Structure 1
Amino acid sequence: MVRLIAFDLEGTLVKSVSSWVELHKKFGTWEKGKEYAERFFAGEFDYATWAELDALLWRGHTREEIMEWANSVEYMDGAWELIEFLKENDFKIVILSSGLMCLAGRIARELGVDYVFANELIFDENGFVTGKVKSVVDFESKGRILEELKKEFNPELTVAVGDGYNDLSMFRVADVSIAINPHEGVEGDHNVESLHEVMEIIEGLLE
């Protein structure tokens, strides 16, 4: 019987806080990026518009510069062990990130997860950022994507693991939600401080 687990990426499986914020800081565009974030949360424009406004600030930077950052991001303690445990116990493993595919794709390949969803910067034929973004995961998408995967696999158990407001939509869809070092106001069925605790909870669910 198939089981399904969906992970947020940043702050959950890896030590990056936000692809968007960290690239703003790398490229010296954080002041404008912070302004765009405030305007998004004030309801001035939708997520796809926000993503492209951010990406426009990086136009002319290269894929190599982006990947230099993405390849520097470290795993949370226990990430590899947890993923191996899940594979051994018949879980389909999904990464759902409202960050960027440059990081999410790298982590998905290295860990060997089944599915990865994230937003993609569009590069031109010479590898420069164009300012366009393929927007896949906004603040509500995680729940919709997880719901579709549940319909496809009809799992006996669905677990969601994350830390932020944009994870609440997948928490609502999962049978069991686990909040790891959650942001203020974010709660799961279980609140934990490490991926080792996540593994303990899942071991308990399988008994």
Structure 2
Amino acid sequence: MKGLIAFDLEGTLTDMISWEILHEKFGTCDKARVHTSLFLSGKITYHEWAEMDVRLWKGRRREEVEEAFSQVTLKPYARELFEWLKKNNFKTAIISGGLMCLARKVGEKLGVDFIVANELKFDSQGRIEGVIVRVTFDNKGEILRQLKQKVNPNVTIAVGDWKNDKSMFEEADISISLGDIDGDYKARDLRDVLEILKSIVRNI
């Protein structure tokens, strides 16, 4: 059996929230809350939300961003879970509306096969100048579909914790919820996710 499993990142594999970390570092939390309110009320698109947030950081140095993510922490049992997935012939993916500077660090720690996230753009002097938006509020399912075409798995599983994971859950054969979203299975933590996966594999 060949499997593909896609994870949300923030709140699922780590408690770190990349956008919040940089807003706190650069002192832009108040303006960011205004942008969030505009998006949630439907007054701006996701792309506009991301661009407006990153505009607050324009000119900040790459080194400052790297410093903010120098100490990346994982949720308990993340390493054990990914070790088991590799032993059981699963390709792994992170699909995150967060920033690549965090997603890449987590991916390196866990040996993730595919990482799709939003990415800061830097100019020739290494200063923030914009953002590449790859993951929006509702396109995770489309991204998972593209990964399925590449991997051609026997089974596709999605793991997430919030309503922006809904399209990913709909695209997967099996969904596991770690939060406020309905899934085929409900897990309290990544240890639960591992036990659920063991049961699924036994019954395939």
Q: TM-score, normalised by structure 1?
A: 0.94
**For residues 89-100 of structure 1, what are the structure 2 equivalents within 5 Å?**
89-100=88-99
How many residues were matched structurally?
A: 202
- Counterpart among 149, 159, 163 of residue 157 in structure 2: 159
Runs of at least 5 residues in structure 2 that lack an aligned partner in the other structure:
none
Q: Distance in 1 between matches of 2:109 and 2:139?
A: 24
Q: Hey, what does 1:145 align to over in structure 2?
A: 143
Structure-1 separation of matches of 2:61 and 2:19:
15
**8 Å contact from structure 1 (residues 71, 103) kept in 2:** no
Query: How far is the alpha carbon of 1:67 from its aligned partner?
Result: 1.4
Taking the aligned partners of 1:99 and 1:126, their CA distance within structure 2 comes to 24
Separation in 1 of the partners of 2:70 and 2:90?
Answer: 26
What do residues 156-194 of structure 1 show as CA deviations (whole Å, max 9, x unaligned)? 1111011111111101111111111x13xx121111111
2:68 alignment counterpart: 69
Structure 1 residue ranges (4+ consecutive) displaced by more than 3 angstroms after TM superposition: none
* Alignment partner of 1:203 is 2:198: yes
Check conservation: 1:15, 1:73, Cα contact below 8 A.
no
List per-residue Cα deviations over 1:83-125 (Å, max 9, x = no partner). Answer: 0100000001000010000010111122211100000010111
Which deviates more, 147-156 or 117-126? 147-156
Q: Percent identity?
A: 47
**1:117 is aligned to 2:116:** yes
Cα deviation digits, residues 31-75 of structure 1 (max 9, x gap) = 110100110111122111111100010112111111122222310
Cα distance in 1 for partners of 2:196, 2:116 equals: 25
Matches within 5 A, 1:168-187: 168-180=166-178, 182-183=179-180, 186-187=181-182
